[in-house]
Amino acid sequence: SQQGEEDPQALSIQEGENATMNCSYKTSINNLQWYRQNSGRGLVHLILIRSNEREKHSGRLRVTLDTSKKSSSLLITASRAADTASYFCATDGQGGSEKLVFGKGTKLTVNP
Amino acid sequence: SAVISQKPSRDICQRGTSLTIQCQVDSQVTMMFWYRQQPGQSLTLIATANQGSEATYESGFVIDKFPISRPNLTFSTLTVSNMSPEDSSIYLCSVERAGRDIQYFGAGTRLSVL
């Protein structure tokens, strides 16, 4: 399986601090994505990074990808209470498959 | 992006009954998917809903238990059949436009089986 593994499983920080979540995967990928899920609701797409990219930014989000280590990190800067959610990485496979394989997720709590 | 309406948002069902979940998209999409998320777990793909043909099921999921329909490019249903407490999960539909890689999710259906 190429399921991603996030760590930590849970992270609790204070508002204003930065939050870093990591994801590892097992096989070659075309791209890696990060999604957010609020309290058992639907997932919201945050950012996609392709296998030939090393870093990508979107607002307070910064994603890195190291294909040699098969790992990615998601950094949320200046966190807010509204960032409290579960964060999942998802990978697709080479060969044109549209199927995504989701990691186990990191539950982030931002305390006001 | 895509706006997805998923119904019902939650239900409590008796063992042995079936529940049909609907997923409606605001525009035509190529790919539609159904996922299961067991309590405290990640998402597991159940199947890809194919328009006009049988769904493509992932290992561990069978059509008799999770029949799926997709009569057109904007609508799909997932039925959870002969339910048991182990089927208590959140069920999510998602869509993806051809070549875009990003999936958009419905709000999910929280199912509890007693």
What pLDDT is stored for residue B32 in this prediction? 94
What pLDDT is stored for residue A97 in this prediction? 61
Specify the DSSP class assigned to residue A103. -
Residue range A72-91: mean pLDDT, rounded: 96
Mutate to test the interface with A, among B10, B59, B101, B111 (most CBs of A within 10 A): B101
Are the C-beta atoms of residues A32 and A23 closer than 8 Å to each other? yes
Of residues A8, A50, A29, A25, the one with CA closest to residue A102: A25
Angstroms from A80 CA to nearest CA on chain B: 23
Angstroms from B89 CA to nearest CA on chain A: 10
The number of residues making up chain A comes to 112
Which amino acid is located at B73 in the chain? Answer: L
What pLDDT is stored for residue A99 in this prediction? 83
Taking contacts as CB-CB distances below 8 angstroms, the residues of chain A near B92 are 42-43
Asked if residue A98 has pLDDT above 90, the reply is no
Taking contacts as CB-CB distances below 8 angstroms, the residues of chain A near B107 are 41-42
Asked if B101 and A48 come within 8 Å (Cβ–Cβ), the reply is yes
Taking contacts as CB-CB distances below 8 angstroms, the residues of chain A near B102 are 33, 45, 48
Q: What are phi and psi of B21, to 5 degrees?
A: -105, 135
Are the C-beta atoms of residues A11 and A110 closer than 8 Å to each other? no
- Cα-based distances in Å from A59 to A22, A56, A78, B39: 19, 10, 11, 31
Contacts with B62 (C-beta within 8 Å, 6 or more apart), sequence order: none
Of residues A31, A28, A36, the one with CA closest to residue A79: A36
What pLDDT is stored for residue A3 in this prediction? 60
Which amino acid is located at A14 in the chain? Answer: Q
Of residues B109, B72, B79, B81, the one with CA closest to residue B93: B109
Per-residue pLDDT of chain B (114 residues; tens, 9 = 90+): 789 999 999 999 999 999 999 999 999 888 899 999 998 889 999 999 988 888 999 999 999 999 999 999 999 999 999 999 999 999 999 998 877 788 999 999 999 999
How far apart are the C-alpha atoms of A48 and A90, rounded to whole Å?
Answer: 9
Residue range A6-26: mean pLDDT, rounded: 93
How far apart are the C-alpha atoms of B66 and B93, rounded to whole Å?
Answer: 13
Residue range A103-109: mean pLDDT, rounded: 94
Radius of gyration in angstroms for the set of CA atoms belonging to chain B, rounded to a whole number: 13
Which amino acid is located at B110 in the chain? Answer: R
In this prediction, residue A1 has a pLDDT band, given cuts at 50, 70 and 90, of very low
pLDDT, tens digit (0-9, with 9 covering 90-100), for A42-80: 899 999 999 999 999 999 999 999 999 999 999 999 999
Asked if B102 and A33 come within 8 Å (Cβ–Cβ), the reply is yes
Of residues B53, B58, B36, the one with CA closest to residue B110: B36
